[in-house]
Amino acid sequence: MELFLTEIANGLFLGAFFALVAVGYSMVYGILRLINFAHGDFFMVAAFVSYTILGAVAVGHAHLVWFTVIWVGLLVMFLTGLLAVLANRLIYHPMRRAALLSLMIAALGLSSVLENGVLNIPSWGSAFLTYPVTSPSNGFTIGPTHFTWFQLIIVVISGLLSLGVYLLVSRTLLGKAMRAVSEDRVAAALMGINVDLVIAVVFFIGGALAGAAAVMTGVYYGQINYLMGWTVGLEAFTAAVLGGIGNIGGAVLGGVVLGIAQSVGTGLFGAEWALVVTFVVLVLLLWLRPTGILGERVARRM
């Protein structure tokens, strides 16, 4: 039982990462009906970029290290958002009239380009790199479980960012434009909404959240690898589907549920079965509740 509680707590932190990446997935899906397979790799590239920047600036500023991490984190969020916008501009935008299948295959191609691009950069490569900043282990204990302050910070940051995006989508004019574009792109354009701009903003937000998740992952787990984006992307997408794709609250909830399921599954069966647990959960859920936990009905385009 004690172990079980620890697993659930760990799952919650895992879920906080998934949720951030899942929100990006879910928003892009909601607006373009595109499974952006490269999204996880935006996350991975962000981890490597932040690794390099932090490696260059964090050394020798031990007392200011958290300040450094914050501004590097913000910078990386911006850069990752830019990367996502660029990918949209160069690949997805010109292909908007193509079949979704072609678009998804192009996304897979982009994913392969990013992964192998990172692999081929000499200072990055295929090894597990140790992240320049690691999280301190001091914290507090509730019952049998030890929590670190950093874990708490992760959950708070992740929650705040998701909440921010949720408010943006549900309360602002820009958010209204996003919802309009996701419902009917042509009609939205006829109402004077700048559809291209809205799509670009969605990509930017998704990328920025992935960037934030990447910096926190690096600090929390302490190592990064060029394949990390693939697994996280997969899990984040599962989380998005789990919660009800196209729905931001659903993405967060799905992330947390998946994180806990995976953490408990790992505790019961061992780490090598984590992915199997993920997908068994997904298949079961799709069988029982095809729209996801909080699912909205999304119009079909394929």
Binding positions for another protein, rule: CB under 8 A: 29, 33, 35, 91, 94-95, 98-106, 108-113, 115-117, 119-120, 234, 237-238, 241, 272-273, 275-276, 278-280, 282-283, 286-287, 290, 298, 300, 302
Q: 152 vs 284, which CB is nearer to another protein?
A: 284
CB of 298 to another protein, least distance (A): 8
Kindly tell me which of 36 and 158 has the beta carbon lying closer to another protein: 36
| Nearest-angstrom CA–CA distance, 201 and 156 | 24
Rg, the chain, Cα only: 19
Report the nearest approach of another protein to the CB of residue 258 (Å). Answer: 12
C-alpha angle 154-130-146 in degrees, rounded to nearest 5: 40
Cα gap 22→255, rounded to integer Å: 7
**HSE-up of 172 (CA within 13 Å, CB side)?**
10
Cβ proximity to another protein, 93 vs 176, nearer residue: 93
Q: Give the span between the Cα atoms of 20 and 214, in whole angstroms.
A: 10
Least distance in angstroms from the C-beta of 85 to another protein = 17
Residue 225 phi/psi, 5° resolution?
Answer: -150, 155
Output the six-digit token pair for 219: 């600090």
**What is the nearest approach in angstroms of another protein to the Cβ of residue 297?**
11
185 neighbors 33 (Cβ within 8 angstroms): no
**CB closer to another protein out of 95 and 155:** 95
- The least distance separating another protein from the CB of residue 229, rounded to whole angstroms, comes to 13
- Structural contact between residues 100 and 33, judged by C-beta atoms closer than 8 angstroms: yes
